[in-house]
Structure 1
Amino acid sequence: MTKRHHEGPEHSSLSKSHKKKRINSFPDLSNNPDNNEFNILQGYRTIDNDVDKQKVDSTRNADINIAVTKLNDIDSLFNKTVGIQANRNSLLAYDSRAMLNVSELAQISIRSLKLNESKKLLNCDDVVNSMKKWMLEEYLKDNNIEVEDDDSEDLSDHEQNHEEDYTQDQFDEASGGNNDTKKITQREKKRTALAKYESFTDFFHFNWYKLGCLYKQVSLKPNLVEHMLGPLDVERKKRVYTAKTKSDVSNSKSTTAEKITNETLNDSVSTTTPEQVKLCFKILKQKMGYKSINLFKFIIDPESFSNSVENMFYISFLIKDGRLVMETDPDDGFPTIRLIDRLPKDSHARETEIQRRIEMPLNHIIFQLDIPTWEKLIKYFDIKTAFIRR
């Protein structure tokens, strides 16, 4: 038993020395450039993960210190990349993405408008009480009213001695790492001093002239000599009472509504568009047959510009439906229209022609006809009467 008791520690010391030797046998990676690049990339990944988690916290707490801290971490990582001689494109890409995430985090925090030293939203009561203090200066001075105002920048001896008892670690922990305890304490003292002005509520005690001058100076509005609306002279109108007249029904003539029948209804209704299209086709077929005619000679009415436009509108339906063909006159280059050729009697040729007409491409043409052009066309073609008479 004694021999085993001595062999145990000896064996343990050998094993410890052996492990120490194995540990020291590994190379030192602290000065390796590749290892530094890996650590920087790992730092950027850690920042991205933390920012994603803290976006929700910033929405609830609205603390800009989180974004400021992460921005400082990114700056420290970027400074480490300066000494790396290898390709830095991957590091710069991670840095850009981290800056984008921190910018989004800062945007979420800035929406709360944290303006004071405690990184919280300004209190509306503090603003109102500060305005009261400023507007009550003349009133308090004239009436010899003293308001205890202890919003000095220096802390009292008791508070200073109390702060000296804190160690540096406790001070950093209480201020959130930013050493803002002194500023927060001063802000609370100012808020307590401003709260004493809440009791002043009389409208005439405040110097509104000072506030008006301040608004005039800040708003930069132009000075006016007189009111822009001018004097208003409003006279009250007297109500005039008129006597009601009785209607004499006995001497008046009785009138009844005119009875409407189918014949009178048909006579009063104007001709519809399909009927006008059929009329144009019928007139062209009767007068020209399958011969072509100048488009303008067919549609222009020398006595009515509106009828000329309507005729062109009706002809467009006939061309679209494949009833008419519009071509170009080889002699003068003006457009002409004619009835489409008849289908051949042979069944095979008839089907071939029908298929060719179906597959024929459609071209859209826009005619612009105004009164000066209408008058020039009447003189050029010497049109005396309308081809289409209604």
Structure 2
Amino acid sequence: MARKRAQDTQPRVSKRLKLEEDNGIITPEPSNEVAATGDGVSDFEILTKYRDLYSNIGKDRVEITRNGDFSLVKERLEAVDQLFGELDKAGSNKNSLIEQDARTVLGVSELAELSVRNMKLDNSEVAVNRHDILRYAKRFMLQDYFRRNDVEEGPQTAFMNTRSDHGSSEGVGSGLAQHRNEREVLQQLDRYDQFAQFNWFKVGMLYQTKSKAPVVVDHLLGPFAAEKRRPNVTHGSRAVENPTGEVATAQKVSKESLSATQEKTTPGQVKKCYKTLVRRKGYDQIGLFDFIIDPHSFPRTVEHLFYTSFLIKEGKIMLEEDAEGFPAIRAVNEASEGPDDERHTLGDGRQNHLIFQMDMSTWRALIRKYNIQESFIP
């Protein structure tokens, strides 16, 4: 069954109908997939020829590397042109054929580059002789010198006469003999070796015209390497102190000034609040607001509340309720602690967090309610 299915799915030749406008007859036209031309050349056959030619180009690299034969490159190039003519005649626009044509042309160009690179220039003197190149260049640059000095029977004229004689004679000499005679005539130019005798500008313009090289200048503009600009550092004059001025020394720290400084810190203020409470109330209970409120300063009231919170946290003061249910405080007597005082000191008692919202209106309302005239803490 698999073999039968494979036979059923073989590529079939699709035909399309073409309407001819001249006679109105509908004739079948073969598809491009099978034959693109009338002679039956299909795209597959063209692609096969391209692949065979590309394979032969790869084999020709060894031969050209060995002897530098340029005629082989010309044969491959003519074959590529012939295949491209068949492709153009078929009218095929398949990307595979166009890609293979570009790959083959690239291979021929690489083959030509390899042939020129391995050309025998001076060893066997078959293709080009180095001395012939120099002598022909001399002949080209000495034309103006011969004209200015009225040199009529020089090598230039002799060379032209030699070529005309060989061209007019019948059956005399071959191309090799003519080349040998030209070389003998050009050897007479070896005696011209002065720099001023040659027109160097002429050969330079010839090179500029034929080589398509970019125009360059004959001088250098700027330094070879760019130097970094160094910043200008200005050293200003150093200010000299006046030796006749007043001499200032560091402030001396005494015991009294150190004690005064420590009293202004937070730990000093906390100790001051605790000592004031014990000195004035002992271990008796006092209302919290009577203790912290300063009727003459709202910021000091906030500071007293801040210091009192430290005393409560450290177990020096106990926060409780008075007979009316308002918050009150009292100092903890460590000498005769009760059960509540011992739990509060050891931290075993239940801790409650209270948040007081103290603003200006609340501060004034508490002063009027408790009739506070003076601050408890000086």
TM-score, normalised to structure 1, is 0.33
Larger Cα-atom Rg? 2
TM-score, normalised to structure 2, is 0.34
Higher RCO (CA 8 Å, separation ≥ 6 residues): 1
